[in-house]
Chain A
Amino acid sequence: MDAFSIHTLLLKTGILHLTYGHVIMWAIGFLFVYLGIKKNFEPLLLVPIGFGIFIVNLPLAPLAGKGDLIWIFYHYGLEWEVIPPLIFMGVGALTDFGPLIANPKTLLLGSAAQFGVYVTFFGAIALGFTVKEAASIGIIGGADGPTCIYLTAKLAPRLLGANAIAAYSYMAMVPLIQPPIMRLMTTKKERQIVMKQLRPVSKLEKILFPMIATLVICLLVPESAPLMAMLMLGNLFRECGVVQRLSHAAQNELLNILTIFLGIAVGTTMRAETFLNPQPIFIFILGLFAFSFSTVGGLLMAKFMNLFLKDKINPLIGSAGVSAVPMAARVSQVEGQRENPRNFLLMHAMGPNVAGVIGTATAAGMFLALLK
Chain B
Amino acid sequence: MYNWDLAFKVFFYGFSGVFICLIILMFFVQISGMVFKNFRKKKS
Of A45-53, A107-115, A243-251, A311-319, the segment with at least 4 beta carbons within 8 Å of chain B is A107-115
Q: Per-position contact with A for B1-43: 1 when CB-CB < 8 Å, else 0?
A: 1111011011101110111111111101110110010001000
B1's closest neighbor in chain A, by CB?
Answer: A128
Choose from B1, B4, B17, B25 the contact partner of A216 (Cβ within 8 Å): B25
Evaluate whether A135 and B10 lie within 8 angstroms (CB atoms) in the complex, with A108-B22, A359-B22 already known: yes
A122 touches B11 (CB 8 A): yes
Is A1's beta carbon under 8 Å from chain B? no
Give the chain A neighbours of B20 by CB distance below 8 A.
220
Give the shortest distance, in Å, between B2 (CB) and chain A (any CB). 6
How distant is the Cα of A183 from the Cα of B24 in the complex, in angstroms? 31
Interface of A is mostly: helix
Q: Total A-B residue pairs with C-beta atoms closer than 8 Å? A: 99
B26 touches A108 (CB 8 A): yes
B: interface residue count bin: 20 to 34
Is A74's beta carbon under 8 Å from chain B? no
Evaluate whether A359 and B36 lie within 8 angstroms (CB atoms) in the complex, with A108-B26, A131-B7 already known: no
Interface of B is mostly: helix
B25 touches A212 (CB 8 A): yes
How distant is the Cα of A244 from the Cα of B6 in the complex, in angstroms? 47
Evaluate whether A370 and B13 lie within 8 angstroms (CB atoms) in the complex, with A111-B19, A216-B21, A362-B18 already known: yes
Give the chain B neighbours of A104 by CB distance below 8 A.
25-26, 29-30, 33
B26 touches A363 (CB 8 A): no
Give the chain A neighbours of B7 by CB distance below 8 A.
121-122, 125, 131, 134
7 tightest A-B CB contacts, nearest first: A104-B29, A111-B22, A366-B14, A107-B26, A107-B22, A104-B26, A366-B17
Q: What is the interface of chain B, defined by CB distance below 8 A to chain A?
A: 1-4, 6-7, 9-11, 13-15, 17-26, 28-30, 32-33, 36, 40
Q: What is the interface of chain A, defined by CB distance below 8 A to chain B?
A: 100-102, 104-105, 107-108, 110-112, 114-115, 118, 121-122, 125-126, 128, 131, 134-135, 202, 204-205, 208-209, 212-213, 216-217, 220-221, 355, 358-359, 362-363, 366-367, 369-371
